[in-house]
Structure 1
Amino acid sequence: MKCVISVLGKDRTGIVAAVSTALGDCGANINDISQTILGEMFSMTMLVTLDEAVADFNTVHDRLAETAEQLGVQITLQREDVFQYMYKI
């Protein structure tokens, strides 16, 4: 299952590492990643593929929520088809 992840918050060391580690622990593959820093604001968008045999959507969602709390950032996980539908013109 392909998913879109967005991360937003105050820039600090270790955000990419922590999110990548959480995803790796869940068996997810990062297909594409884009990040930027605007002043002190960190923004990252990832396209990932979940391995549902290792961790289903809800498990990954919960793990990312824990990571977000530890980092003090906002992390949103959406199924790619839902994301595409939401932004279809």
Structure 2
Amino acid sequence: MRIDKLLYFLRFAKSRSIARKWAEAGHMRVNGRRIERCSQGVHEGDVLTMPLGESIAIVRVLALPGRRGPSLEARSCYERLDETLDASPASPLAALRFE
């Protein structure tokens, strides 16, 4: 599945065009590799790293959604890996913030 479509279906982006701009900005990573194309393929088990507001979101794709459904349906398709990380200014994660 394309990264822009996935971000839209998982409700990270309000529209697919916004998701496309995020992917083409070059601030996202799939399995640690920087992406610059909105057509980048994403598969189950891939780890996405992306700026989300003032923090960084790290998610593992558990399943590829078939549609943009309700938020509970979307949340069942990914797992947040960054919830246990310390987001204090002294943490190593703070140095990775995207502009």
Structure with the greater relative contact order (CA < 8 A, sep ≥ 6): 1 or 2?
1
Higher helix share: 1
Higher strand share: 1
The question of a shared fold, defined as TM-score above 0.5 by the shorter chain, is answered with no
